[in-house]
Structures are given as structure tokens and as C-alpha cells.
Amino acid sequence: LLFLKLENKPKEKLQKQICQIVLDHFEKQYTTELGDTWTRVRDVLTQPLCWQYAVLLNKFSHSAELEDTLRLKGYHPAFQGPLPYLPPSLKCYIRRTPGRFPAQKHQAGKLKEYYLLNAASLLPVLALEVKDGEDVLDLCAAPGGKSVGILQCAYPGQFHCNEYDDLRSRWLKQTIESFIPGPLINLIKVSKLHGREIGDLHPEFYDKVLVDAPCSNDRSWLFSSDIQQATLRLIQRKELSSLQFQLLRSAIKALRPGGSLVYSTCTLSKAENSDVINLILNSCSNVMPVNISEIAKAISQEFTFLSDTQQHELLVLPQKGRAWGPMYLAKLKKI
């Protein structure tokens, strides 16, 4: 009953104001890059009332009653196809209709039962394929959803979560405290280093690295409430690809030979996605692309992907009834 009451709260909060400067910029860029596909994507991004939210269960605290409640509300597992990597302990529920399951507040000393997120943000976790005992680095970890996702899948030997920004770093620590039990938290290292430094500080130390890079977040930027901030963001957007390239170079240094990394963003921008990966592949002779096309095939019923990407990359396109993304990911292996 409580879930029903919370879920049926007035929807006025979702009525956000679109920032016209950002929309005009996206209109110009994405019409060129995506053609007619952009129109369908734009219809989802500009209408928060059709957005969907997934429920990632916390294996350290969730109950059977929670799964029953989700099923009664029309939720079903997000990942059901023959995926190359899908640990049974990773449980994520989605439904086709828009809406948001009630969030749980942070309570000191009490673990949350679930994490609300965009279902596409778990695809980099699935692509990373973390196994028990591996040393793992989450280079740009805040707010912590992907770190929590990794820990649902496996128990790393060492797990290093890094976040340079002070405010976001505090957010990351709170997320970990909310979802991960005490004994396991003690094995997680949280740092506030600049991601560009980590490769030099920890050369060839990690088996797996996730680079969920700072990017022009298409969903949130469209609803920038401050015109000056929006304008500044669009100016700084041109510099992001350089930072992303530097973070990837650092991640490659931090990887052991034979180790792999996943790069991800939540933007549609070609300059921040495939262009960055192509630049890395052309300038770093010690990495090679890894085919992740099987992921898209396995979950094509629930997610829409851009069709003309290369085998080592995926781009999730938000569509009505499948409002997941934008989410770009690419996988590389160190030779």
C-alpha cells in the first residue's frame, strides 16, 4: 500500500522547463549525426513524463517480498537474453510503462534494498565482466551506481573507486555506505585523485578498469535552469573529448597486460564517443578493440541501439516504451 501511495504522488515535479539554447544546439548537431533517428530520441529526452526507471536490487539486503511487489506492479527482469556475462546475483527490474518506483532515503547503519537508475547504465558493468578476485578500478565513480552494480556481480580482490570532484566524492561515499555491508566496505578504496594521474601512480595494477567519463549529459543539460550555466556548458563541451582521451590514456597505463577496460558516457555526441575511441586505437599500439555486439543481440527486445556502430561499441537510443539511454560504451583490451 505504501508503494502505491508513493508512486501515485502528483506528477508536477516531473514538469521541467526545457533549455532552448541547449535544445537548439542538440537539434543542429544530432540532426547531422543521427538523421531522422534524432526526432524519435528528442521526443523522449524532452518529455520526462515518458521516462522510465529501473530497480537494481541490492543482494546484500533485499527481500523476496520486494521482488513480489515489483512483479505485481508489472516489472520484469531487464536482462534475460543469452548474455555473454550475467551473474545470477545481478537482478535489475524494469517495466515498459513510464514511472518511478519510490526512492529510499539514506539511513546511517541501514542498507538500502534497491537502487533506482537508467537501465542502460548497467551495460558498461555487464561489458566489463568482473570476476571474483580481480583488481578493479572505477576511475570516475560518482554517484556510485556502477560501483554498486559491479559489487552485485562479483567480489573484486581490490576495488578502487575514484572521484575527483569533492561534492561528488561525498555522494559516492554515501552511496557505498547505503548499499555495501561493513566488512566489504573495508576492502573498497575511495580516492579523490584526478583520473589523469592514476595511470602513473598505479601502473599495470588493475585487471579491469571502468572509465565512465565526464560528458555532456544530454538528459540533464536539456533542463538546465540557468541560461548562463547552459551557455558555459556548451562552450566547455568542445574541451570534453580532450579530457576523455587523457582519462583513457591513464586507464590504459593502469591496466595490466591482458586486462580490459570499458569506456562509457551518457551522451549521443560522436565527438565524445566513437571519435575518442578511434583516437585511442590510432594512437595507442598496446590496445585492441573487443567485440561486444552479442550484448546488443541478447537484449534487443528491451533496448534500442544505433545500428551503424562498430563491433567494439554500442550506443543505446532512448525510444518511447524503451526510454533507456543515451548510453555509449566501448570495450578495449590491453595487449
Annotated binding-site residue? 91: no
Classify burial at 235, counting beta carbons within 10 Å of its beta carbon; exposed 0-12, middle 13-18, buried 19 or more: exposed
Catalytic residue at 153?
A: no
| Cβ(156)–Cβ(229) below 8 Å | no
Annotated binding-site residue? 163: yes
Cis omega (within 30 of 0) on the bond before 98? no
Determine phi and psi for 122, rounding to 5 degrees. Answer: -90, -10
Nearest CA to 54 among 185, 149, 181? 149
Annotated binding-site residue? 144: yes
What gap in Å lies between CA 307 and CA 297, rounded to an integer? Answer: 11
What gap in Å lies between CA 220 and CA 230, rounded to an integer? Answer: 10
Annotated binding-site residue? 28: no
Annotated binding-site residue? 35: no
Longest dimension (CA), the chain: 58
- DSSP labels for 277-295? HHHHHHH-TTEEE---HHH
Cell of 114: 534497491
The one catalytic residue among 19, 153, 161, 266: 266
Residues annotated as part of the active site: 266
Q: Which residues does the annotation place in the binding site?
A: 140-146, 163, 212
Q: Which residues does the annotation place in the binding site for S-adenosyl-L-methionine?
A: 140-146, 163, 212
